[in-house]
């Protein structure tokens, strides 16, 4: 995964995809087949941005997923930021963010994945007035997702029960199934 992410940071998308499949290919294909088996064959594709905005109405927490090694997967979150802010979302929790505050929004050194699209995401959020929330677990543990959820909770809802939080996470961290 690290090599795949490094290639993506240099704009080498094809090499990034190649190394990602080398490290996760079989496991990913198995998960995808299991997921697709549960889909209703009559379902029609919908516009993701419009559907997320529709479903975000009346909610205090929305979680968006990315693939760390594919910068283009951050584009949807960038496109959602302005509308979500107008809906009252004031916190943006980013797994790849190292600290909650920025001295210089143009400095991508505060990001685990310091590539241009991450920088655009960060600068757009700051410009729109989002409060940034870093939540990566300090120590990797078997309870990493729970540790991350607790960090988001303590920095947002624990201080402001009416908070509206947009979480941008990677891979399967949005899964409700902890297995």
Q: Would you tell me how many other CB atoms lie within 10 Å of the CB of residue 78?
A: 17
Residuewise pLDDT in 10s, the chain (179 residues):
565 666 666 566 666 666 666 666 556 566 666 666 666 667 777 888 999 999 999 999 999 988 777 778 889 999 999 999 999 999 999 887 877 766 555 555 666 656 778 888 888 999 999 999 988 777 666 787 888 889 999 999 999 999 999 999 886 666 666 55
| CA of residue 109 relative to chain centroid, distance | 18
Contact 129, 92 (CB under 8 A): no
User: What is the distance between the alpha carbons of residues 146 and 93, in angstroms, rounded to a whole number?
Assistant: 15
What distance in Å separates the CA atoms of residue 125 and residue 96, rounded to the nearest whole number? 14
């Amino acid at each position: 995964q690290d090599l795949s992410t490094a290639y993506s940071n240099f704009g080498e998308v094809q090499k990034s995809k190649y190394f990602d499949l080398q490290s996760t290919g079989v496991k990913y294909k198995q998960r995808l087949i299991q997921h697709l088996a549960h889909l209703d064959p009559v379902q029609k594709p919908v516009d993701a941005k419009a559907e997320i905005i529709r479903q975000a109405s009346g909610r205090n927490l929305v979680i968006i997923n990315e693939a760390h090694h594919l910068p283009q997967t951050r584009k949807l979150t960038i496109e959602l930021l302005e509308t979500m802010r107008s809906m009252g979302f004031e916190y943006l929790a980013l797994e790849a963010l190292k600290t909650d505050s920025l001295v210089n929004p143009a400095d991508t050194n505060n990001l685990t994945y310091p590539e241009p699209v991450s920088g655009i995401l960060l600068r757009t959020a700051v410009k729109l007035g989002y409060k940034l929330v870093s939540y990566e677990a300090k120590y990797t543990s078997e309870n990493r997702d729970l540790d991350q959820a607790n960090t988001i909770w303590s920095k947002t809802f624990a201080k402001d029960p009416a908070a509206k939080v947009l979480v941008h996470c990677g891979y399967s961290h949005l899964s409700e199934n902890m297995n």
